[in-house]
Every structure is written in C-alpha cells, then in structure tokens.
Amino acid sequence: MTPDELERQVETLDLINNELAARLARQAESGSKIDTKAVLLVGFAATAAQFLASRHAQAVLAGLAFGAYAVAFGFGVSAFRVAAYKDVEPRPMFDRYGRRSKAEALVHLASARVKAFEKNADQHECRAKRWWISLAALTLGLILSVAAIVQTG
C-alpha cells in the first residue's frame, strides 16, 4: 500500500484500532472474572474438605471426596492468572512510530493489538478450561461428601 493510499484509510484504521483496544479491555476484564471465580472455588473446596474432615463419614466415599476436593483445589489454583496478559509495549511503539504518519502508526498498532489478543485468547481459553474442571471436581466432591456423611447415619 502506498503512503497516499494509507493516508486515505486513516478513518478506517482508527475505527479498527478503537475496536481492538475495546476487545483487549473486555478480554482482560473476562480474565479478572475467571480469577475471582477461581479464588471462590478454591476457598469453597478447602472449606468443604475441612467440614468433611470434622465429620465421622464412610471412609471410602470420604477418601474419594477428598481426592475430588484436591483436584478442584489444584485446577482452581492453576486457573489463577499466573502470567500477565500481553499488551502493546508503549516504549517500542513510541520509539518506532512516533515520527511517522498517523496511518502508519495505526497500522502497526492494530497489528500489535491483534498479536496480543491472539496470544491472550489461548491463555484465556486454557484458564477457563481449568476452572470448569475445578468446578466439576468440586461438584463431585460435594456429592461424595453428602453420600459419605449419609452412609454413616
């Protein structure tokens, strides 16, 4: 694309950049929600395990429930944001494109945001799967705990 063609696309590039910035913000917010849910789930699993430990329960079912709580705890902790989301690095962007035209800067900014979004999307999907596994294990643990307590009368 020639510089003149690029300059004619400034409005479109600006629109695309604004949308990409908003998508990155929504992605980060969604990641924060996964963190919050994971923390609550881990806390609930730990509390449920402590409750079961304080009861006289059928040994095999209680052991299975403790195993499920351990899985829920482990996957819940692994769902926490261990690595920060990737974002556009401000200093290199400024140094490289600060003296170029708005259109050139917008093209490179959009490209950097797309790369960041794609990298974050993989990380986000993995964390969400871990949270779902943790939730399933917690649910199984609760069912087994109830059965273990009820079996002892």
pTM comes to 0.79
The total domain count for the chain is 1
Q: Which of 130, 118, 129 is nearest to 27 (CA)?
A: 118
The DSSP string of the chain is: --HHHHHHTHHHHHHHHHHHHHHHHHHHHHHHHHHHHHHHHHHHHHHHHHHHHTS---HHHHHHHHHHHHHHHHHHHHTS--SPPP---HHHHHHHHTTS-HHHHHHHHHHHHHHHHHHHHHHHHHHHHHHHHHHHHHHHHHHHHHHHHHHT-
Given a cut of 80, is residue 97 above it in pLDDT?
no
Report pLDDT for 16.
87
pLDDT in tens, 34-61: 999 999 999 999 999 999 999 999 999 9
Report pLDDT for 82.
66
Range of the domain at 50: 3-151
pLDDT band at 153 (very low <50, low <70, confident <90, very high): low
